[in-house]
Amino acid sequence: MNEEHKGSRRSGGPRKAQEIFDATLDLLADKGYEGLTIEGVAQRSGVNKTTIYRWWPSKGALLGAALIGARQLELTPPDTGTLAGDLEALLGTIATLLTVRPASDIAVSVLGAATHNPELAAHVKDFFADRIAREQSVFDRAVARGEITADTDAMLLVDLLAGAAWVRAVLRQLPLEKDFVARTVNIVLNGARAAG
Amino acid sequence: MNEEHKGSRRSGGPRKAQEIFDATLDLLADKGYEGLTIEGVAQRSGVNKTTIYRWWPSKGALLGAALIGARQLELTPPDTGTLAGDLEALLGTIATLLTVRPASDIAVSVLGAATHNPELAAHVKDFFADRIAREQSVFDRAVARGEITADTDAMLLVDLLAGAAWVRAVLRQLPLEKDFVARTVNIVLNGARAAG
């Protein structure tokens, strides 16, 4: 029993947390939020159902932990040496998450289902708060290099980039052209400098 | 019978099309996509169920027509005399659609449900294609006034604006601050000019 508490992640969790998170997101990608069950996660991860329930009392709680903890949605803040390079890397990752399966099935399912599921919406909110906190380092370094002023609204720049990808790929259902990332970053970065 | 074909809209429809569209979107706002039924629309609009079915054989088809034809989602392209003014009016309308009920219930429900419903997704795609076609006049006038160059990517500018509002209000579930519209338009417009 004690063994399950070893090697736990930030917020605690059983020993096989990564396998449970991966199974959760895989199942979500296959079956959608409605088809996601703790039973199904137990079966796919090979972890006992009662162990999963002990840590996460509902599928909403489990999915919330999986969103933040899972390898499949890993987003290490880039550090390319320039803000333009960092933002291109960031938007490139977001574009891939929204358009390349199976990550896109997960991301689009979760964000879509959150619009009519308050518990899931709370976890999506936490997920975005976690991400913007990690992305802040990109902007701190750009300020230190003198690329932008200290009062630049980092969240607005990220929302412009991520939002353009979401509208184009998910709502308009149009392909993201080869130069989408470079052109979008160029507009946002020039706009931020002119506004700063 | 013939009477129903009088006064039809662009794409054809029964005489009480607006009442049917309004009832469709009201019901969607109240019950979500799962709770939307043609029976319910008939009851709420006072139009016979068979009349509705004659024009729209499924709730997906009906919702698609309602999205494009309904007064509640009306979006007349602004004409304020400047591109900045027009884009602020456009983003102001989008921000209201995403945050003020009941419009926000409709917009967020439809766009969320479309992520896991291919028929609805096709109608959302048509809705966005219809909107960008109407918004084009804003950019044509700005080019004529010399505010932007003719090769400006109008869709990218609209996607940046609408996307930032979507990410902030729907995914992050944070309020759109009082100066959100002005600041967002300022960045996008300065960026477009610098890139052009």
Q: Tell me, what amino acid is at A34?
A: E
More reliable by pLDDT, A108 or B158: B158
Within this chain, domains B2-69 and B75-195 share the same CATH topology: yes
pLDDT over 90 at B106, yes or no: no
- Chosen from B99, B172, B185 to mutate, greatest number of chain A CBs within 10 A: B172
What is the pLDDT, as a whole number, of residue A97? Answer: 87
The CATH number of the domain covering residues in A2-69: 1.10.357.10
A160–B109 CB contact, under 8 Å: no
pLDDT band at B92 (very low <50, low <70, confident <90, very high): very high
Any B CB within 8 A of A178 CB: no
Any B CB within 8 A of A163 CB: yes
A188–B160 CB contact, under 8 Å: yes
More reliable by pLDDT, B25 or B32: B25
Q: What is the pLDDT of residues A175-195, one digit of tens each?
A: 999 999 999 999 999 999 987
What's the mean pLDDT in A169-179?
93
Q: Tell me, what amino acid is at A4?
A: E
Q: In this structure, are residues B21 and B65 in contact, taking their beta carbons and an 8 Å threshold?
A: yes
Alpha carbon of residue B122 to chain centroid: 14
- Chosen from A99, A158, A160 to mutate, greatest number of chain B CBs within 10 A: A160
Q: Which one, of B24, B161, B19, B28, lies nearest residue B104 by Cα?
A: B28
Q: In this structure, are residues B160 and B186 in contact, taking their beta carbons and an 8 Å threshold?
A: no
How many angstroms separate the CA atoms of A56 and A13, rounded? 9
Distance from CA of B28 to the nearest CA of A (A): 12
pLDDT over 80 at A11, yes or no: no
pLDDT band at B185 (very low <50, low <70, confident <90, very high): very high
Q: How many percent of chain B have pLDDT more than 90?
A: 55
Residues of A in contact with B158 (CB under 8 A): 167
pLDDT over 60 at A43, yes or no: yes
More reliable by pLDDT, B193 or A106: B193
How many angstroms separate the CA atoms of A38 and A27, rounded? 10
pLDDT band at A196 (very low <50, low <70, confident <90, very high): low
What is the pLDDT, as a whole number, of residue A76? Answer: 80
Q: Which one, of A102, A63, A81, A78, lies nearest residue A161 by Cα?
A: A78
Q: DSSP H helical segments within chain A, as ranges? A: 17-35, 38-45, 49-55, 59-69, 83-99, 103-114, 118-144, 154-166, 180-195
Q: In this structure, are residues A137 and A77 in contact, taking their beta carbons and an 8 Å threshold?
A: yes
Any B CB within 8 A of A196 CB: no
Any B CB within 8 A of A11 CB: no
pLDDT over 80 at B196, yes or no: no
Task: Give residue limits of the domains in chain B.
Answer: 2-69, 75-195
Q: Look up residue A78 and give its DSSP letter.
A: P
Q: What is the pLDDT of residues B50-75, one digit of tens each?
A: 999 999 998 888 988 888 887 767 77
pLDDT over 60 at A85, yes or no: yes
- Chosen from B73, B98, B160 to mutate, greatest number of chain A CBs within 10 A: B160
| Max CA distance (Å), chain A | 58
Any B CB within 8 A of A131 CB: no
What is the pLDDT, as a whole number, of residue B4? Answer: 41
Residues of A in contact with B187 (CB under 8 A): 156-157, 160, 188, 191-192, 194-195
Question: Domain A75-195 - what CATH class?
Answer: mainly alpha
What's the mean pLDDT in A125-145?
93
Q: Which one, of A121, A112, A114, lies nearest residue B113 by Cα?
A: A112
Q: How many percent of chain A have pLDDT more than 90?
A: 56
Contacts A–B by Cβ distance under 8 A: 149
Any A CB within 8 A of B28 CB: no
Any B CB within 8 A of A75 CB: no
